[in-house]
Amino acid sequence: MPVTVGVSLLVALSWFCSLLGAVLLDGRFGGALLPAALAVGWLGTRLLAWPLRRLTPDPGPPPSRRDFVGLGCVIRTGRVGPDFGQAEVRSADGSAAVVQVRQTAEEASGTGRVLTKGAFALIYDYDDEGEFFRVIPDLPALSS
């Protein structure tokens, strides 16, 4: 449950309890009324929060850079090499991100395709230490 909802419930219930206590007790026990109203408000908030918790969706795991592995991307720099390159990738929710990408010389010579601006590539790995993605040229059938 969001904090703002919990605090709002606590304030509303405590206020109602203090108002009800002031009317019923006719001003007697004035010093004990505030702590008692807060305690009843806290207890009421706990009881109401339990069923409300089920109504809020579970956020699931937080997004990770590894979510991009397996997705296609479009090269945005003039070239991609072992030390330089950027690409634009779209996540599953449709948002776009510009990420650092790398292609080794062996990969470029093995496929015969050096990645240049506008080329489609496939992200196949993420390097945690260097904080970049490894890419290979994408097959034309996969890039659509």
| Model confidence pLDDT, tens digit, residues 8-43 | 999 999 999 999 988 888 878 778 888 999 999 999
Whether residues 79 and 127 share a domain: the answer is yes
144 in a structural domain: no
**pLDDT(136) > 60:** yes
| CB-neighbour burial class of residue 67 (10 A; exposed 0-12, middle 13-18, buried 19+) | middle
24 in a structural domain: yes
> Please, which pLDDT band fits residue 144 given cuts at 50, 70 and 90?
very low
Run of H or E residues at 127: strand 120-127
Phi-psi region of 100 (alpha: psi -120 to 50; beta: other; left: phi over 0): beta
Whether residues 7 and 36 share a domain: the answer is yes
130 in a structural domain: yes
- Total domains in the chain come to 2
Whether residues 75 and 40 share a domain: the answer is no
> Average pLDDT for residues 92-117, to the nearest whole number?
81
Run of H or E residues at 73: strand 72-75
42 in a structural domain: yes
Token pair in block for residue 135: 């890419």
Whether residues 76 and 124 share a domain: the answer is yes
pTM value is 0.57
